[in-house]
């Protein structure tokens, strides 16, 4: 398994196109995902496009096939709000339980500067992996959708 770190500085040398990363996440996030446009906006934000604050992506691959991906966005804050938010993480269905999620999280935690927040639905089995890494749930999230 290869694990590739991608940020605004390394974006032009990445082995996969934005469209491939977006399509992978759209497919493998299952019921926890978003539409391709939202995932694309998130990736653009991480690559500092369209006034994005930055962040990075991590892509796991076997040969030319993407088998896992993460997108982190910087929040531009720190202390009172974590500096990073893990927006998307997914492993290919046929590679789940084989260390792909762990490899993605290890590289993500190595590369992120500052605290990291993420949102996970209570029935998402990935929640247990996050807890093993030390993520906690001290808050109840509330949203006002407009």
The backbone torsions φ and ψ at residue 27, rounded to the nearest 5 degrees and listed phi first, read -75, -45
What are the chain's domains? 2-132 (3.40.630.30)
Cα dihedral across residues 146, 76, 139, 99: positive or negative: positive
Please tell me the predicted confidence (pLDDT) of residue 116.
Answer: 96
Please tell me the predicted confidence (pLDDT) of residue 114.
Answer: 96
Please tell me the predicted confidence (pLDDT) of residue 8.
Answer: 94
Whole-model pTM: value is 0.91
Please tell me the predicted confidence (pLDDT) of residue 125.
Answer: 86
Given a cut of 50, the residues of the chain with pLDDT beneath it are: none
Query: What percentage of the chain carries pLDDT values higher than 90?
Result: 76
Instruction: Tell me the per-residue pLDDT of 30-68, one tens digit each, with 9 for 90 and over.
Output: 888 999 999 999 999 999 998 999 999 999 999 999 999
d(CA 26, CA 39): 7
d(CA 40, CA 47): 11
Please tell me the predicted confidence (pLDDT) of residue 124.
Answer: 87
Please tell me the predicted confidence (pLDDT) of residue 143.
Answer: 77
Pinpoint the alpha helices (H) of the chain: 18-28, 36-46, 100-111, 127-132
Q: Which tokens go with 53?
A: 């604050």
């Amino acid at each position: 398994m290869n694990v590739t770190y991608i940020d605004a500085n390394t974006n032009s040398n990445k082995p996969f196109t934005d469209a491939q990363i977006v399509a992978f996440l759209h497919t493998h996030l299952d019921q926890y995902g978003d539409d391709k446009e939202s995932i694309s906006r998130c990736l653009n934000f991480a690559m500092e496009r369209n006034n994005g604050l930055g962040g990075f992506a991590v892509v796991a691959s076997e040969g030319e096939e993407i088998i896992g991906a993460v997108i982190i966005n910087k929040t531009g804050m720190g202390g009172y709000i974590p500096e990073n938010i893990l927006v998307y993480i997914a492993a290919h269905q046929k590679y789940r339980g084989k260390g792909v999620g762990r490899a993605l999280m290890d590289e993500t935690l190595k590369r992120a500067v500052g605290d990291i927040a993420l949102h996970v639905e209570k029935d998402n089995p990935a929640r247990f992996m996050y807890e093993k890494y030390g993520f906690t749930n001290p808050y109840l999230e509330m949203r006002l959708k407009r």
